[in-house]
């Protein structure tokens, strides 16, 4: 099996020097185990945090160990009655072309007409993140307006559409290129979108939200969060989902300079990690597979081919090369 390991902890932006590719001889299967040929691997922003030796909600990647993460594929060898050869599965063995382990570490995927890859994106963890953040954390209600940063990414594209399903009256997004802004408006139904690289976010958001916003779904942090705090209406809510503008920072990031808005307008900021909201997985999966199959929710995937290019996929995703979910196809 070809596998990718972390060999040195990056300071700032990671480079290929921080990793190595190894070839591992897989042992015979033990009782109740499976071997899986991975078809798609997920590369995600949270993996940058796991490259640091820091205590967090999820332990760091071990040095000289194969990195873990979400992947989907089919069982090619099995000693498990529950997961016979041919079963499509989701698992978290991540960065390798062939995964092997106890059957209990692999979950069978439902049979649908959808590509297996959607269980890493729209119908998987990233889709659930959008759903949890808007519905449970922000409590987005019918008729409210919402601003979503990182809007053209995996979570953002789904969040824009879920906001509409929840009855949002106005959906505004930000992203890092003119092409992405066009896709947000034309394909994903955003009422307004802007390129955060064109002019200060504070200024652009103010122009596009004359009536303020009720909810902010934060994927970016920093200047985006500050801008949103200025524009939130009384009793506004922020779902703090991520702060990708800071993941490669080597210096402490300045705090928002306008937290007094929380007092004067009774705002609520709440962070979350999707893993703590798995109780919503059932209702989410049922609704989302329905929406995807009827085409009322659409999605993009940016696919990089080959395990040998998995790191490029990760670096490119951190740099904004993706629209929708960034995936590695094995």
How many angstroms separate the CA atoms of 236 and 233, rounded?
5
User: By CB under 6 A, is residue 41 in contact with ligand NDP?
Assistant: no
How many angstroms separate the CA atoms of 84 and 241, rounded?
37
CB nearer to ligand NDP: give 176 or 236: 176
User: By CB under 6 A, is residue 242 in contact with ligand NDP?
Assistant: yes
User: By CB under 6 A, is residue 241 in contact with ligand NDP?
Assistant: yes
Of the residues 47, 89, 90, 154, which one makes contact with ligand NDP according to CB under 6 A:
154
- Give the residue from 5, 38, 35 showing the smallest Cα distance to 22: 5
Contact 105, 266 (CB under 8 A): no
Which listed range, 23-31, 63-71, 72-80, 152-160, lies at the site for ligand NDP (CB under 6 A)? 152-160
How many angstroms separate the CA atoms of 244 and 317, rounded?
11
CB nearer to ligand NDP: give 49 or 212: 49
Q: Give the bridge partners for 78, in sequence order.
A: 34
User: By CB under 6 A, is residue 69 in contact with ligand NDP?
Assistant: no
CB nearer to ligand NDP: give 222 or 236: 222
Site residues (CB under 6 A) for ligand NDP, limited to 257-276: 272-274
User: By CB under 6 A, is residue 177 in contact with ligand NDP?
Assistant: yes
Of the residues 70, 181, 201, 220, which one makes contact with ligand NDP according to CB under 6 A:
220
CB nearer to ligand NDP: give 6 or 274: 274
CB nearer to ligand NDP: give 162 or 317: 317
Smallest gap from Cβ 267 to ligand NDP, in A, equals 19
**SS3 for 20?**
strand
Angle at the Cα of 131 from the Cα atoms of 257 and 324, rounded to 5 degrees: 85
Count of residues touching ligand NDP (by CB under 6 A)? 29
From first CA to last CA, the distance across the chain in angstroms is 12
Site residues (CB under 6 A) for ligand NDP, limited to 311-330: 317-318, 320, 322, 326
State how far the alpha carbon of 4 is from the alpha carbons of 28, 46, 133, in Å: 21, 17, 31
Of the residues 3, 66, 129, 209, which one makes contact with ligand NDP according to CB under 6 A:
129
User: By CB under 6 A, is residue 152 in contact with ligand NDP?
Assistant: yes
How many angstroms separate the CA atoms of 195 and 208, rounded?
12
Structural element, H or E, at residue 5: strand 2-6
3-state SS track over 47-77: HHHHCCCCCCCCCCCCCCEECCECEEEEEEE
Q: Give the bridge partners for 33, in sequence order.
A: 102
Of the residues 176, 201, 297, 310, which one makes contact with ligand NDP according to CB under 6 A:
176
How many angstroms separate the CA atoms of 103 and 67, rounded?
19
CB nearer to ligand NDP: give 32 or 223: 223
Binding interface with ligand NDP (CB under 6 A): 44-46, 126, 129, 150, 152-156, 175-177, 180, 219-220, 241-242, 244-245, 272-274, 317-318, 320, 322, 326
């Amino acid at each position: 099996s070809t596998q990718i390991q972390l060999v040195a902890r990056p300071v700032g932006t990671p480079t290929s020097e921080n990793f190595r590719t190894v070839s591992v001889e897989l042992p015979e299967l033990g009782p109740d185990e499976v071997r899986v040929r991975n078809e798609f691997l997920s590369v995600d922003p949270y993996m940058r945090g796991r490259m640091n030796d820091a205590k967090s909600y999820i332990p760091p990647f071990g040095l000289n160990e194969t990195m873990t993460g979400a992947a989907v594929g089919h069982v090619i060898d099995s000693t498990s009655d529950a997961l016979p050869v041919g079963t499509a599965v989701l698992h978290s063995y991540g960065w390798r072309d062939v995964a092997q382990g106890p059957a209990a570490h692999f979950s069978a995927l439902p049979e649908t007409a959808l590509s297996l890859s959607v269980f890493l994106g729209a119908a998987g963890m990233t889709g659930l993140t959008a759903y949890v953040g808007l519905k449970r954390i922000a409590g987005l209600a019918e008729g409210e307006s919402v601003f979503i940063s990182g809007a053209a990414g995996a979570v953002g594209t789904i969040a824009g559409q879920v906001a509409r399903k929840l009855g949002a009256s106005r959906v505004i997004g930000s992203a890092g290129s003119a092409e992405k802004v066009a896709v947000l408006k034309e394909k994903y139904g955003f009422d307004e979108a802007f390129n955060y690289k064109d002019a200060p976010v504070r200024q652009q958001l103010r122009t596009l939200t004359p009536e303020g916003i009720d909810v902010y779904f934060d994927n970016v942090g920093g200047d985006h969060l500050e801008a949103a705090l200025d524009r939130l209406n009384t009793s506004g809510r922020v779902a703090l989902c991520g702060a990708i503008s800071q993941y490669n920072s080597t210096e402490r990031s300045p705090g928002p300079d306008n937290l007094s808005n929380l007092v004067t307008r009774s705002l609520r900021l709440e962070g979350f990690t999707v893993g703590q909201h798995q109780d919503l997985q059932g209702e989410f999966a049922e609704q989302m597979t329905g929406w995807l199959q009827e085409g009322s929710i659409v999605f993009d995937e940016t696919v990089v081919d080959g395990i040998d290019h998995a790191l490029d996929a990760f670096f490119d995703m951190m740099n904004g090369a993706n629209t929708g979910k960034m995936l590695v196809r094995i």
